[in-house]
Amino acid sequence: MIRFERHTLENGLRVIAHRDEGTPMVTTNILYDVGARDEDPGSTGLAHLFEHLMFGGTREVPLFDFPVMMAGGENNAFTNNDFTNYYITLPVNNLETALWLEADRMTGLDLSEERIMTQKSVVTEEYRQRYLNQPYGDLLLLLRPLAYKVHPYRWPAIGIDISHIGKADTISAGKFYRKFYNASNAILSVAGNVAPDEVFRLAEKWFGDKPRAPRRRRRLPVEPDQNKRRQIVAERRVPSAQLIMAWHTDGRNSRDFIVLDMLTDILSGCESARFPNLLVREKEVFSEADIYLSGETDPGLVIFSGKLRNGIDIRKAEEAVEEELFRLSAVPVTDAELEKARNRYESLRLISHLSASNKAFNLALHELLGDAEGINRERERYMSVTAGEMAVTAARTFLPSNCSIIHYIPKEQ
Amino acid sequence: MKDALPLRAPAINIPSPGDTSFPACTRLSNGVPVYLIGNGPEGLIRIEFVFNAGQRTESVHLASAATNAMLTEGTYLHDAATINNLIDMTGALFSPNADKDSAGLVTVTLTRKLDEVMSLAEEVLFHPSFPEREFRMMKDKRMQAFLIGRQRTAVRAREEFYRALCGDETPYGRVTCAEDYASLSVLHLHDFHSAHYMPRNMYITVAGRNPEQVLPLLERHFSGEGSGPWSKPVITAPLFSSASPGVIHCEVKDSVQSTVRMGWKGITRDHPDYLGLQVATMLLGGYFGSRLMRKIREEKGYTYGIHAVAGAFHSIGYIAIMTDVANAWREETVMEIRKEITHLQRDLVSDDELQVVRNHTMGEIARLFDGPFSVADAIKGIVDYDAGLDYYTRFAETVNNITPGKIKELFNTYFNQEEAYIIIAGTA
């Protein structure tokens, strides 16, 4: 049970306070409800570029990192398709420094031509480092446009193409900033040894004068049901083939999400799970075989990813996965498998509660999903999943017509 | 310091490292050291078993890593599928790990499953059977990962650096080749295991609430005499043969970026300058606002990130600067790094900049001691290298007392430009 209190400021800023007496540090986590899904298809990658710009300094604080480091803190941020998340962890007696910095860059950012030019270059190198200069690095870049035709999940947070970033300028950045970076579009979550009332008082002190902006309503195109199997082949200079199979499923708040989260754990969550046991050890089709949820807010994907053993035909590998998934309806999940998944869930949940910064982020995430209290209801939701439910959801999800497939194979040298 | 910040800014409290002491060691009846690290949440506990069985101790290349990876692949009591199923039923996480100077197993378990988990830990650590079929599969899998590594510029540059620094014939500098996998057999694993995985060659850390509760279980499973009573590892230094300094190009076909790794021979933990050198490298490239990050990333935009570290294995230290840059920018990057080092060798750093590094480092130390699982991680580096349980107390003192003059001296002593190795891994 994670105890917390919530308070919303006049200007719409939602504030969550969790008291953790076991740590000398405090984390301020500020989540902005803007991600790659909110971008214009003609200028993708802007949300992520903007995350970089948020460290570029303001009129009041030209070097963002200077006061953070002075206060003994560390900070970072990440952007995904759904949201952009910033955090600072520092000694608890410097909490106010973190709040001052976050409040300052919510409205005071210095969006100079020069800053934007440099960060465009940094992001281009990030793109090369993560996706182009790694074997298999572009796999997930290929998957999105294959699985999604309409919904903005069809592009990754880095952008459809790196040339989009090249077009960003002070005007587009300024427009983006004013539209998405305001109090009513943010959730501030603070975890550490601080009384909630004190957190609320300080939030009021630093964020209280921020203007109120109307709460945005997101209207995104709905991805139509997929009714035909899709497949592409990508030839790359890699030593061994990789198979990706992805099926559409429901959003983060749905029952299916929880059911499939448990089911994918039973299929590949540990060494003795079905895939490692049958597809890797027994049949020796793959050297690694993993299945997981993409974890997005809107309807997302269940993704199978397997590295093939040398000499195995990729179509045969695909059949082996399908056979295992089909077998789920014939041979339901056993009590032992269910108990294993429950014990693992319990361990992982306690591990995720070890750090205050992790709790701060998860509280903000649940609030974004609708209610921070969800963090305390999740355990019950996972524990109540039954074998029967898993069979039904599996039969509904793992349909060939609902599947997008990538054969990622070595290029003949 | 307040003058550097705008009027509205809240006053900053000078960060304190907090309590930097590690628990004293208690011992099992056979002398095995156990470090009990208390506090943390109810219900979860982490036990780590560390053996003096790292790469340094192997006579056949890959024996240390392969032995460690095979621990959970079958025992004399259970085959691979069964032992994994027994482990997974408890919900515990078993992570075998092998490094250059130690190897072992981390277990994280629900406290209520402690009994079963400790008995399983004993089984995999002391009674693995190294079955042929699992051994072949493990080798195939590692071979695949090895081939993928051949295409990673960062991996290649790191290997070439250690080769240049330590020499091909030492365990720290040896670069793996495909034949090493082919010639490895289960006999090598049996030999390596019986020579290194025994109580006299290990220590244990326990992190979580009421860590004492684990002691009777540890006594039951790990106090066997084995080959004799516990004894402190004796470290013999390998015969290092360093390459001559200069540029080493490592061809990685079709790479779109190059990894630039610039490095020097450093010093070991027992050297009086070791802690000061930590501060100097932090200033150069150890945090987001460091000299190199500001210059190479934030000003030039050549890279997504650049970092500098000073570390040490047993008997040899190293200093390294590493970054991934566009192929076209690698020469400029080396030039800019050289310029930055020249500045630090010529000019004194300002009190303001040194204060930032001080405060940031104090925060880092405080984070290392934030929670029992972090402390367990930190203590491993201390015990493995016999760095002294007061290491972080001394480090905090050094951070507080170091002067701009000393920093300049360190750059002149340890960052000699003529003695640098410059590894460039990428397309020619």
**Confidence at residue B69, expressed as pLDDT on a 0 to 100 scale:** 98
Mean pLDDT calculated for residue range B342-361: 96
User: Where are the strands (E) in B112-252, listed by range?
Assistant: 202-208, 246-251
Quick: pLDDT tens for B371-398.
999 999 999 999 999 999 999 999 999 9
B143 touches chain A (CB under 8 A): no
Beta-carbon separation of A72 and B15 below 8 A: yes
How many other C-beta atoms are found inside a 10 Å radius of the C-beta of residue B236?
8
Terminal alpha carbon distance of chain B: 48
Q: What percent of chain B has pLDDT over 90?
A: 88
Burial B377-404 (b: 16+ CB within 10 A, else e): bbbbebbbbebebebbbebbebbeebee
> Please, which pLDDT band fits residue B249 given cuts at 50, 70 and 90?
very high
**β-strand A242-248 against B33-37: which pairing, if any?**
unpaired
**β-strand A403-410 against A230-236: which pairing, if any?**
parallel
* Fold assignment, B25-222: Cytochrome Bc1 Complex; Chain A, domain 1 (3.30.830)
Beta-carbon separation of A284 and B137 below 8 A: yes
**Confidence at residue A140, expressed as pLDDT on a 0 to 100 scale:** 86
pLDDT at A308 over 60: yes
**Confidence at residue B1, expressed as pLDDT on a 0 to 100 scale:** 42
Mean pLDDT calculated for residue range B166-189: 95
Task: Report the amino acid identity of residue B27.
Answer: R
A110 with A217: CB under 8 angstroms? no
How many alpha carbons lie under 13 Å from residue A299 in its C-beta half-sphere? 17
- What residue has token string 């993560």? A130
DSSP states along B220-289: HHH---TTSS--PPPP------PPPSEEEEEE-TT-SEEEEEEEEE---TTSTTHHHHHHHHHHHHSSTT
Identify the sign of the CA torsion A341, A346, A351, A353: positive
> Cα(A344)–Cα(B110) distance, rounded to whole angstroms?
9
Quick: pLDDT tens for A22-75.
999 999 999 999 999 999 999 999 999 999 999 999 989 988 999 999 999 999
Q: A89 has which bridge partners?
A: A27, A74
Q: What are the two backbone dihedrals, phi and then psi, of residue A198, each rounded to the nearest 5 degrees?
A: -70, -40
Q: What is the DSSP letter of B363?
A: H
* Domain residue limits, chain B: 25-222, 246-426
Q: At what angle do helices A113-127 and A170-180 cross, to 10 degrees?
A: 90
A53 with A123: CB under 8 angstroms? no
Beta-carbon separation of A343 and B289 below 8 A: no
Q: B49 has which bridge partners?
A: B105, B204
Q: A31 has which bridge partners?
A: A85, A187
* SS3 of residue A2 by DSSP: coil
- Give the mean pLDDT of chain A: 95
Tokens (6 digits) for B45: 């506990």
- All domains in chain A, ordered by first residue: 5-207 (3.30.830.10), 230-410 (3.30.830.10)
How many other C-beta atoms are found inside a 10 Å radius of the C-beta of residue A314?
18
B147 touches chain A (CB under 8 A): yes
pLDDT at B70 over 90: yes
**Confidence at residue B4, expressed as pLDDT on a 0 to 100 scale:** 55
Please name the member of B109, B144, B256 whose beta carbon is closest to the beta carbon of A240. B144
The alpha-carbon gap from B229 to the nearest alpha carbon of chain A, in Å, equals: 35
Contacts with B255 from chain A: Cβ below 8 Å: 133
How far from the centroid of its chain's Cα atoms is residue B392's Cα?
16
Task: Report the amino acid identity of residue B125.
Answer: L
Task: With CA atoms as reference, report the closest residue to B92 among B106, B104, B103, B82.
Answer: B106
> Cα(A150)–Cα(B275) distance, rounded to whole angstroms?
56
Which of A 382-411 lie inside 8 A of B, CB atoms?
none
How many other C-beta atoms are found inside a 10 Å radius of the C-beta of residue A317?
24
Which of B 62-121 lie inside 8 A of A, CB atoms?
72, 80-81, 84-85, 87-93, 108-110, 113
A79 with A48: CB under 8 angstroms? yes
Mean pLDDT calculated for residue range B249-263: 94
Q: A243 has which bridge partners?
A: A306, A407
A93 touches chain B (CB under 8 A): yes
Residue B221 Cα distances to A403, B73, B126, B218, angstroms: 49, 20, 10, 5
A356 with A192: CB under 8 angstroms? yes
Q: What are the two backbone dihedrals, phi and then psi, of residue B314, each rounded to the nearest 5 degrees?
A: -70, 135
- What residue has token string 């990333």? B297
Tokens (6 digits) for A93: 């007696």
Contacts with A271 from chain B: Cβ below 8 Å: 72, 84, 87-88
Non-local (6+) Cβ contacts of A302 within 8 A are A246, A247, A249, A260, A264, A291, A292, A293, A294, A397, A398
Mean pLDDT calculated for residue range A182-198: 97
Tokens (6 digits) for B365: 């130390």
A170 touches chain B (CB under 8 A): no
**Confidence at residue B7, expressed as pLDDT on a 0 to 100 scale:** 65
Which of A 102-141 lie inside 8 A of B, CB atoms?
117-123, 125-126, 128-130, 132-136
> Cα(A157)–Cα(A152) distance, rounded to whole angstroms?
10
Quick: pLDDT tens for A102-149.
999 999 999 999 989 989 988 988 888 888 888 899 998 999 999 999
A63 touches chain B (CB under 8 A): yes
**Confidence at residue B5, expressed as pLDDT on a 0 to 100 scale:** 64
ipTM: 0.93
**Confidence at residue A125, expressed as pLDDT on a 0 to 100 scale:** 87
- Segment among A187-191, A391-395, B132-136, B225-229 with least mean pLDDT: B225-229
Q: What is the DSSP letter of B124?
A: H
**Confidence at residue B298, expressed as pLDDT on a 0 to 100 scale:** 87
Which of B 229-248 lie inside 8 A of A, CB atoms?
none
A302 with A249: CB under 8 angstroms? yes
Task: Report the amino acid identity of residue A216.
Answer: R
Non-local (6+) Cβ contacts of B64 within 8 A are B53, B54, B55, B57, B58, B98, B103, B192
Please name the member of B151, B289, B304 whose beta carbon is closest to the beta carbon of A122. B304
Q: What percent of chain B has pLDDT over 70?
A: 98
> Cα(B31)–Cα(B14) distance, rounded to whole angstroms?
42
A272 touches chain B (CB under 8 A): yes
Please name the member of B141, B304, B363 whose beta carbon is closest to the beta carbon of A90. B363
Beta-carbon separation of B254 and A237 below 8 A: yes
Chosen from A126, A139, A271, A274 to mutate, greatest number of chain B CBs within 10 A: A271
**β-strand B93-98 against B103-110: which pairing, if any?**
antiparallel
Quick: pLDDT tens for A236-246.
999 999 999 99
> Cα(A77)–Cα(A126) distance, rounded to whole angstroms?
14
Mean pLDDT calculated for residue range A201-220: 92
**Confidence at residue A130, expressed as pLDDT on a 0 to 100 scale:** 86
Quick: pLDDT tens for B262-315.
999 999 999 999 999 999 999 999 998 899 999 999 889 899 899 999 999 999
**Confidence at residue B2, expressed as pLDDT on a 0 to 100 scale:** 40
* Fold assignment, B246-426: Cytochrome Bc1 Complex; Chain A, domain 1 (3.30.830)
- Give the mean pLDDT of chain B: 94
User: Where are the strands (E) in A44-122, listed by range?
Assistant: 74-79, 84-91
B326 touches chain A (CB under 8 A): yes
> Cα(B52)–Cα(B234) distance, rounded to whole angstroms?
10
A238 touches chain B (CB under 8 A): yes
**Quick check: do B25-222 and B246-426 share a fold?**
yes
> Cα(A233)–Cα(A252) distance, rounded to whole angstroms?
30
Non-local (6+) Cβ contacts of B209 within 8 A are B38, B39, B40, B41, B42, B43, B45, B111
* SS3 of residue A181 by DSSP: coil
Mean pLDDT calculated for residue range B335-358: 97
Beta-carbon separation of A354 and B373 below 8 A: yes
Tokens (6 digits) for A133: 């200069």
Angle (CA) B161-B163-B165 rounded to 5° is: 70
DSSP states along A14-37: EEEEEE-TT-SEEEEEEEES--GG
**Confidence at residue A134, expressed as pLDDT on a 0 to 100 scale:** 86
